[in-house]
Structure 1
Amino acid sequence: MKKHIPSIARILLGLMFTASFIAGMMGKIPPPKGESALAFMTTLADSGLLSFIKVIELVCGLALLSGFFVPLALLVLAPIIVVITFYHLLLDPSGMAVGFVMTALWLTAGSAYRTIFLSLLHAKQPAN
């Protein structure tokens, strides 16, 4: 069972991001609470960046669900998860659990690809 935990985390994270895209496109995401949170989300929406982020969430969510390009999907989602976590931590504390759950799922799913991520930290590639 222990070896299946990263796969379960990967699928749950994929479902979260795919559902987030669907909810965003259907207009089912509740408005942010507080002036700062509303200003932040309005700026993202008005600039078109929110739509871009939602498409990235969909593509990466589907990649996580299908099991294809999982390390790449996790790498691309990392900064989005950081922003979501800090958004809730600083601007909308009522949803703080979402950021922490996403972070925990990301770390758990990423643990299966630890060697791939660590290889990105080598300053020089070995000569062929």
Structure 2
Amino acid sequence: MADLTREAGAAAYRIVAEALTNVRRHAPDATRAVVRVRRAEEGDGIEVSVTDDGAGGAEPARFRLPRRARGAGGLGLPALTEHVTALGGTLTAGPVRGPAPGWRLRAVLPDASSPPRRGVPSPARAFAPTSSTKGSP
């Protein structure tokens, strides 16, 4: 398996955690969720995907989450997409194509040996402290 930067490894963990939380929150009828981590087909890097078989939508009363869990917000897909893009990767999410219902989240993250993409800062620069945050606790 490819060597990941510390930032890309942390992002992969956050992606899986957020995706599994979303399955629980938005597809309570799902009977399975498949998590895959493998070398990306596009070349350098890894692919992280989480696919469920739930229909999503309204939650039946028997599957309702506790009130405190329903109101708790995670990073959300827009924030994850921004984070993955800053690392030089891509993130997509949407319904599974085919006769069975489901949802798939897929991220491709560069490995440590991947050349930086043009116009995308290196992971170290993407999250380096700015002059306004240096020295902050």
TM-score normalised over the length of structure 2: 0.32
Q: Which structure's residues are more often strand, by fraction?
A: 2
Name which one, 1 or 2, has greater alpha-carbon Rg: 2
TM-score, normalised via structure 1 length: 0.34
Which structure has more relative contact order (CA 8 Å, sep 6+)? It is 1
